[in-house]
Amino acid sequence: MPDTDTDESLLERARAGDEDAFLSIYTRHRVAMYRFACRLLGDSSAAEDVTHDCFLSLFKHPERFDAARGATLRTYLFAAVRNLSLKQFRRAAQETLIDEAADERSAPDAEQPLSRVLEAELSAAVRATVERLPALQREVLILFEFENLSLQEIAVVVGAEANTAKSRLARARAGLRRALAPHLERRAELVGAPEK
Alpha carbons 12 and 14: distance in angstroms, whole number: 5
- The C-alpha angle with vertex 97 and arms to 95 and 99, in degrees rounded to 5, equals 70
CATH number, position 174? 1.10.10.10
Residue ending a domain, choose from 58, 93, 128: 93
Both 46 and 128 in one domain: the answer is no
pLDDT at 34: 95
pLDDT at 97: 45
Q: Specify the DSSP class assigned to residue 117.
A: H
pLDDT at 124: 76
Residue ending a domain, choose from 93, 119, 134: 93
Which residue blocks in 42-113 are alpha helix, DSSP H? 44-60, 73-92, 94-104
Q: Is residue 128 part of a domain?
A: yes
Whole-prediction pTM value? 0.65
Alpha carbons 6 and 11: distance in angstroms, whole number: 9
Both 83 and 10 in one domain: the answer is yes
- Encode burial over 4-34: b for 16+ CB neighbours within 10 A, e otherwise: eeebeebbebbeeeeeebbebbbebbeebbb
Q: Is residue 34 part of a domain?
A: yes
pLDDT at 111: 42
Alpha carbons 139 and 130: distance in angstroms, whole number: 9
pLDDT at 131: 85
Both 76 and 146 in one domain: the answer is no
Domain count, the chain: 2
- Residues 121-150: tens digit of each pLDDT: 667 777 788 888 898 999 999 999 888 899
Cα 177 to the chain's mean position, in Å?
19
* Sequence-distant contacts of 98-105: CB under 8 A, at least 24 apart: 98/41, 98/42, 98/43, 98/131, 99/131, 99/132, 101/42, 101/43, 102/42, 102/127, 102/128, 102/131, 102/132
Both 72 and 4 in one domain: the answer is yes
CA-nearest of 187, 180, 183, 155 to 169 is: 155
pLDDT at 181: 83
Q: How confident is the prediction along the chain (196 residues), in pLDDT tens digits per residue?
A: 456 788 888 988 988 888 899 999 999 999 999 999 988 888 889 899 999 999 999 988 888 888 777 789 999 999 999 999 888 766 655 444 445 555 554 444 444 455 566 566 667 777 788 888 898 999 999 999 888 899 999 999 999 999 999 999 999 999 988 888 887 777 666 656 544 4
Q: Provide the residue range defining the domain that includes 124.
A: 105-196
Residue ending a domain, choose from 93, 113, 136: 93
